[in-house]
Amino acid sequence: MSRHPVIDRSTRLLVVAPHPDDESLAAGMLIQRVLGAGGRVDVLLLTDGDDNPWPQRWMERRLVIDAAARARWGARRRKEVGAALARLGVGPDHLHAFGWHDMQVTEELRLRHGQAVGAMRRVVERTRPNLVVIPDLGDTHPDHGSAHVLARLALAATGSTADVLTYMVHGTEQSAPEDLLVLDADPERQATKIQAVISGDVDFGICSPWEHDPELVFEPLFEDSFGVVFAPHHALARNEGELSWRDIDGYRIIGFSPDLGMQHQLSRTAGLSVEVREPRYRVSNTSTIETLVARGVGVSIMSALAAQRAPLDKLQLRLLSQPVLTRTVGVLRREGKSLSPAAATMLQYVRAAVPQLARFPGVRVDAALMGEAAPVKPARVKSDDTPRKA
CATH number at residue 132: 3.40.50.10320
Q: Are residues 141 and 28 in the same domain?
A: yes
* CA pair distance 39, 12, nearest whole angstrom: 6
Nearest Cα residue to 2 out of 182, 234, 192, 236: 182
At 329, phi and psi to the nearest 5? -105, 140
Positions of the chain with pLDDT lower than 50, given as ranges: 1-2, 172-185, 187, 372-390
Strand 40-47 relative to strand 12-17: parallel, antiparallel, unpaired? parallel
Q: Is residue 1 part of a domain?
A: no
Same domain? 232 vs 160: no
Same domain membership, residue 194 and residue 166: no
CATH number at residue 247: 3.40.190.290
CA–CA dist 167, 177 (Å, integer): 11
Those residues with Cβ within 8 angstroms of residue 220's Cβ, 6 or more apart along the chain or in another chain: 328, 329, 330, 369, 370, 371, 374
Judge contact between 25 and 48, C-beta under 8 A: no
Residue ranges making up the domain that contains 355: 189-390
pTM: 0.51
Q: How many domains does the chain have?
A: 2
Same domain, 111 and 25: yes
Using the 3D structure, point to which of 182, 207, 241 is the last residue of a domain. Answer: 182
Could you say which of 148, 182, 216 is where a domain stops?
Answer: 182
Q: Tell me what pLDDT residue 291 has.
A: 82
pLDDT digits (tens, 9 = 90+) for 90-144: 999 999 999 888 878 888 888 888 999 999 999 999 999 999 999 988 787 888 9
The reply to whether 246 falls in a domain is: yes
